[in-house]
């Protein structure tokens, strides 16, 4: 359906709310409830002007006859947001406690980015607040701990661990044997390599089934043959000061690049957000996510079949995967968002509630 026209109307105020606007909104909702958000802005302004007028016993007629001048000049959507995220009396403000933090982590591992669902389990916290807290604190924390914030699993892919490996393997040598100029050059080279590898991985992200793929490449990727070859050649030729030799990736061919799980790369990644929902475990299970793992790469630990659950096992499939005919893939269809959390959260009441 089309968008609501309410926010398209010109002349409506945007941006931070003033105390006066807050006051209007709170007074109206406390007295009347919100009812229709769309109608609320005008009603709220009118209601306040009426009550003020009555209390002053002045100019009732003038104010009531020109409600537009006194209405809340905001769209209903903005009013709703202000109320639910800020003005609602039951909102708990301030820092998240460690208990809340742990709860959010657990819930996120089960529910994914279902912020409103998570908020339902934390009284006094709004979905917006939790979302912000996740994005600014918890996500970074998990990444620093080497845990993929989307899957809640340890990040085992080579791309995520490369910086650490590089640092560990070369720190001593860098410090002892190179001048600062040499080190700067070296870091530049590494940065360029990493950028290209990340770009290559992005290009290898799957595309919608109707997109064209070059002949010798995995189906449905963002890349054309020339770009692909150039990138590989470019990477292979970076011998000087090389830390990331292509041999470390098994010749860096497209069969061995572990291009799963790259949340740090800020590109659209449609099918890498495995969300668990009720249907995934029930009879209405639908394959809302598929994890494709090249057979020649080390797969992530497969989800263990837990007793009493109906977690779908890994299955081998040859259709509609990254490799096309090049290799078969292991697809974990419609599974839980996190193997890791399956283990940790099996006894969580919410887990069974959902399952």
Partner DNA sequence: AACCCTATCAACCGCCAACGG
Partner DNA sequence: GCCGTTGGCGGTTGATAGGGT
Return residues touching DNA (CB under 7 A).
1-7, 13-17, 35-39, 74, 76-78, 80-82, 84-86, 113-117, 127-129, 131-133, 135-137, 140, 273
How far is Cα 200 from Cα 146, in angstroms, rounded to an integer? 22
Label residues 127-142 b or e (16+ Cβ within 10 Å = b). Answer: bebbeebbeeebbeeb
**Min separation Cβ 121 and DNA, Å:** 12
1 vs 175 by CB, closer to DNA:
1
Environment class of residue 316 by beta-carbon count within 10 Å: exposed (0-12), middle (13-18) or buried (19+)?
Answer: exposed
Separation CA 44–CA 23 (nearest Å) = 10
Contact (CB, 8 A) for 60 and 54: yes
Q: Which is nearer to DNA, 87 or 330 (CB)?
A: 87
Cβ 248 to DNA shortest distance, Å: 29
Distance CA 348, CA 110 (A): 10
CA distance 344 to 301: 15
**CB 151 to DNA: min, Å:** 14
Distance between CA atoms of 177 and 164, rounded to whole angstroms?
Answer: 20
Residue 136 Cβ, how far from DNA at the closest point, in Å? Answer: 3
Question: Per DSSP, what are the bridge partners of residue 141?
Answer: none
Read off φ and ψ for residue 29, nearest 5 degrees: -70, -40
Nearer to DNA, 35 or 313 (CB): 35
What share of residues in the chain are helix, strand, coil (percent, to 5)?
A: 50, 5, 45
Q: How near is the Cβ of 42 to DNA at its closest, in Å?
A: 12
Report, in Å, the least distance between residue 147 CB and DNA. 17
| Cβ nearer to DNA, comparing 27 with 38 | 38
Q: Which is nearer to DNA, 131 or 348 (CB)?
A: 131
In the complex with DNA, the residue whose CB is nearer, 1 or 226, is 1
What separation in angstroms does the CA of 263 have from each of 61, 114, 134, 198, 327? 61, 18, 15, 11, 24
Minimum CB distance to DNA smaller for 33 or for 209: 33
Minimum CB separation from DNA for residue 331, in Å?
Answer: 22
CB 174 within 8 A of CB 183: yes
142: tokens are: 């998990």
Of the pair 74, 254, the CB lying nearest DNA is at 74
Closer residue to DNA, CB minimum distance, 114 or 121: 114
What is the rounded distance in angstroms from the CA atom of residue 337 to the CA atom of residue 279?
13
User: What is the spatial distance between Cα 336 and Cα 343, in angstroms, rounded to a whole number?
Assistant: 11
**Could you tell me how many helices (H) and strands (E) the chain has, helices first?**
14, 3
In whole angstroms, how close is the CB of 255 to DNA at the nearest point? 30
Q: Report, in Å, the least distance between residue 39 CB and DNA.
A: 7
Gap between the Cα atoms of 43 and 37, Å rounded: 10
Find where tokens 């490996």 sit. Answer: 165
């Amino acid at each position: 359906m089309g968008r609501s026209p309410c926010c398209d109307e010109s002349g409506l105020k945007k941006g931070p709310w003033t105390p006066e606007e807050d006051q209007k909104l709170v007074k109206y909702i406390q007295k009347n409830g919100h009812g229709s958000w769309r109608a609320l802005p005008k009603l709220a302004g009118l209601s306040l002007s009426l009550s003020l007028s009555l209390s002053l016993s002045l100019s009732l007629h003038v104010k009531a006859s020109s409600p537009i001048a006194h209405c809340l000049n905001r769209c209903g959507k903005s009013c709703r947001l202000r109320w639910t995220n800020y003005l609602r009396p039951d909102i708990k403000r301030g820092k998240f406690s460690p208990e809340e933090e742990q709860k959010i982590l657990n819930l996120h591992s089960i529910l994914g980015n279902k912020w409103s669902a998570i908020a339902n389990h934390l009284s006094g916290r709004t979905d917006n607040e939790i979302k912000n807290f996740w994005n600014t604190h918890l996500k970074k924390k998990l990444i620093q701990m080497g845990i993929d914030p989307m899957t809640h699993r340890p990040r085992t892919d080579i791309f995520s661990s490369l910086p650490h490996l590089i640092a560990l393997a070369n720190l001593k040598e860098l410090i002892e044997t190179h001048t600062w100029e040499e080190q700067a050059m070296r870091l530049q080279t590494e940065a360029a390599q990493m950028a290209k590898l990340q770009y290559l991985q992005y290009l290898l992200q799957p595309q919608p089934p109707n997109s064209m793929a070059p002949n010798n490449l995995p189906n449905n990727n963002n890349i054309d043959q020339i770009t692909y070859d150039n990138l590989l050649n470019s990477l292979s030729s970076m011998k000087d000061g090389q830390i990331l030799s292509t041999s470390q990736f098994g010749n860096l061919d497209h069969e061995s690049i572990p291009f799963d799980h790259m949340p740090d790369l800020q590109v659209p990644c449609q099918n890498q957000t495995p969300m668990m929902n009720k249907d995934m475990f029930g009879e209405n299970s639908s394959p809302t996510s598929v994890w494709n793992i090249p057979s020649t790469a080390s797969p992530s630990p497969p989800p263990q079949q837990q007793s009493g659950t109906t977690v779908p096992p890994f299955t081998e499939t040859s259709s509609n995967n990254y490799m096309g005919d090049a290799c078969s893939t292991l697809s974990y269809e419609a599974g839980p968002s996190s193997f890791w959390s399956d283990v940790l959260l099996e006894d969580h009441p919410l887990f069974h509630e959902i399952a």
